[in-house]
Amino acid sequence: MQPSTPQDLVQQYGGGHTGGWVDLLPSSWIPYVQLARLSPPIGISLIYLPHIFGTILAGTLQRAPVLEVLKVSLLLLGGSFFFSNAAHGWNDIVDAEVDKKVARTRTRPIPRGAMSKQAAFMFATTQAIGAAAFLLVLPPKTALYAAINIPATLYYPYAKRHTNMVQMILGFCLAWGVMIGIAAMGLDPIFGADKSPIFLFLGCVAWTTIYDTIYAHQDVEDDLKIGVKSTAVFFGQQTKPFLWLVLGFMLVSLIGCGYTAGLGLLYHMIAVIGTAVSMGLMIRNVDLRSSSSCWLAFRNGFWLPGGFLMGGLLCEYIKG
């Protein structure tokens, strides 16, 4: 692994970003912005996009009006914003001692002493309350499905101490947004007649597992030294065969979603084939020994397949 870390990665996940609009804030606010990964806000996107996948799929299944889909999407955006802040705060509280020992994360607000764990806990608690408030204006079943994800989210930062399958646990946490998006549209994602949400959820679990395994390779040397587990640590230089296997599972799941939901050619051409090509090229080209290559693959591995999935689902909704 190259010792240097790309500057944009340090800014996003190292806790040292103070550029752009962040500089306009009072200095006492900046650690909170860094804690919540708000500059740039990719953390919110990781959480929000699966919610939108579920919302659009549900809109297609029941031919919901555009205004209804837009309303639910905006409510879920607000909830995702607060939930992302809370989850990142909780993650950094639990990982504070580990973060001190990892080159990429030792400048985060808690490890560098810019914020106490108590202050971070208060921040995370207020953000969790803010996320819960959005559930009050959504169908009651939404709160039930959101509650299912809470134990997994609370456990996630501890998982690296217990299992190498950390990325799959994160995949569950993020992909569960599909279920919440479906429920927010008034459908039952598990016990309803249509089982396509389950296939879409499984596809998103696999998607997250792929891009986060590549992301984890940036820290693999530090993780080995301090005994932190991950799929990157477990598979090492044999990671790519594992990623190809997971990609195959992802594509089968996406095809299953299309088949059970009765989605047409546009979905399969854009969402399935687009994802297959973009993820396949990413896995083939990434150099797992290079931080900069892993960071680029992680970023592209989220935005490109996410865009194809969104495009395919949206085209089917518009067509229907």
In the predicted model, is pLDDT for residue 69 greater than 60?
Answer: yes
Helices (H), 95-230: 96-99, 117-135, 140-159, 166-184, 196-216, 220-226
In the predicted model, is pLDDT for residue 21 greater than 80?
Answer: no
> Domain-by-domain residue ranges, the chain?
41-82+138-319
What is the pLDDT at residue 40? 80
Cα separation, 127 vs 9, in Å, equals 24
pLDDT tens profile 239-294: 999 999 999 999 999 999 999 999 999 999 999 999 999 999 999 999 999 999 99
**Per-residue pLDDT averaged across 105-125, rounded?**
94
What is the pLDDT at residue 16? 53
pLDDT tens profile 182-207: 999 999 999 998 999 999 999 999 99
Cα separation, 139 vs 149, in Å, equals 17
In the predicted model, is pLDDT for residue 15 greater than 70?
Answer: no
pLDDT tens profile 119-163: 999 999 999 999 999 999 999 999 999 999 999 999 999 999 999
**Per-residue pLDDT averaged across 301-316, rounded?**
97
Cα separation, 176 vs 167, in Å, equals 14
Length of the chain: 320
**Per-residue pLDDT averaged across 7-24, rounded?**
58
- Asked if 36 and 89 touch (Cβ cutoff 8 Å), the reply is yes
